[in-house]
Amino acid sequence: MATVVAIITSMVVANATQTITTPNAAFIAYSLAFGANSAPITPATNRSVLVIGCCTTFDNEGVGQVSLLHIPSTLMTWVGLESPTSAAITSGRIGGTGHIVYIDVGHQVDIQKASADTILVHNGSSGTRAGNVTLIW
């Protein structure tokens, strides 16, 4: 009986350049009366931005996040996760204004697209809500 031996040779060629940099970040705290909006926030442009928002008001705590791309004067596109209790994937691609992600448990405080180049925190609840938003790029 003959024995067959297989020799497997693998060659990997890498042509990628890797640059590791310290990320930039912005931290924005908010405390909003019912129906109020935060000041406009301008995300970094032409790169991925991690947007993390939370509500820290007692009995309304929550957190939501999206990965967002801001193309200046054109559109924003994103995908992420809404705050619980009814957590769901959120995604969109819009040139106008509108909802991006809920950041409180009752889905009344959200981050919205405010203009072609800005986002904001909107308090749609009937009471004051506080928390913060962090952008990392």
CA dihedral 105, 107, 110, 115 (to 10 degrees): 170
Q: How far apart are the C-alpha atoms of 4 and 6, rounded to whole Å?
A: 7
Q: How far apart are the C-alpha atoms of 22 and 137, rounded to whole Å?
A: 9
Beta strand spans in 1-137 (E) = 25-32, 48-55, 62-71, 75-81, 89-94, 98-102, 109-113, 119-123, 129-136
Q: pTM of the full predicted structure?
A: 0.83
The predicted-structure confidence for 115-132, as pLDDT tens digits, reads as follows 999 999 999 999 999 999
The predicted-structure confidence for 64-74, as pLDDT tens digits, reads as follows 999 999 999 99
Is residue 83 within 8 Å of 63, Cβ to Cβ?
A: yes
The predicted-structure confidence for 62-116, as pLDDT tens digits, reads as follows 999 999 999 999 999 999 999 988 889 999 998 889 999 999 999 999 999 999 9
Over the Cα atoms of the chain, what is R_g?
A: 21
- For the record, the structure tokens of 37 come out as 């909006």
